[in-house]
Amino acid sequence: YTLAERRMSHPGPDHSKANSINDWNEIVGAWYPEETRMHAVYWDSSGAAYDLHDWVTAGGSWSKAAGINDGGQIAGWAADSGNRTHRGFVANVRTGVVRHVPALNDEHESRLYSINGRGKAVGVFKADVFSYHGLLFDANTGTAENLNDRLPPDQRWPHVPQPHNLSGWLLLEAWGINNLGQIAGCGMRSIEGRYVDRAFRLVPRSV
């Protein structure tokens, strides 16, 4: 794969969205070659646009890029074959390497929203039939994990019958990650029997 193969003949493109920019003035997002289908797109520092879909596809007809770091690693998600589900990806425009998020809990559905300079990306994955949980993906190793597994045991969602008087977190979505590994997102917290939606910042123990 080379970027030159995917450069668009027009600088636009029309019907496009820019979602993230890095310090090298590289931008990623999505554009719509058809009204009901979007493709991941990358703009280099000169403003030239590149359709990334054939590179990052997981077998389906649509894809989207959401974040880019200074190393040229792009985070996003793409449809599986048949467009019934989708999975997160990290694609490196410098090296040409693409990694897709593996299945967690036998579920392939996932999305990546943001990536830091160390190749760590965050987003969500389908934890079961009904719910999504926060996701951490390491593009260097190709490993994925449920962010809730990073919580100390005393801060995890209570595994006791309701009603209860314990407190705990269920991390539902991760939207941003910095180079220190700190993760921002939203989740649900139980506070002595009350359930509230609340923003969170997850901090590695070493920070």
Tell me, letter by letter, the H, E, C secondary structure of 156-202.
Answer: ECCCCCCCCCCEEEEEEEEEEECCCCCEEEEEEEEECCEEEEEEEEE
CB 24 within 8 A of CB 40: no
Percent helix, strand and coil across the chain, each to the nearest 5:
10, 55, 40
Looking at residue 2, its amino acid is: T
Quick one: pLDDT at residue 162?
Answer: 61
Residue 207, pLDDT score: 45
**Stretch 72-81: mean pLDDT:** 97
Max Cα-Cα span within the chain: 61
**pTM to 2 decimals?**
0.90
For the chain, counts of helices (H) and of strands (E): 1, 15
Would you give the DSSP letter of residue 150?
G
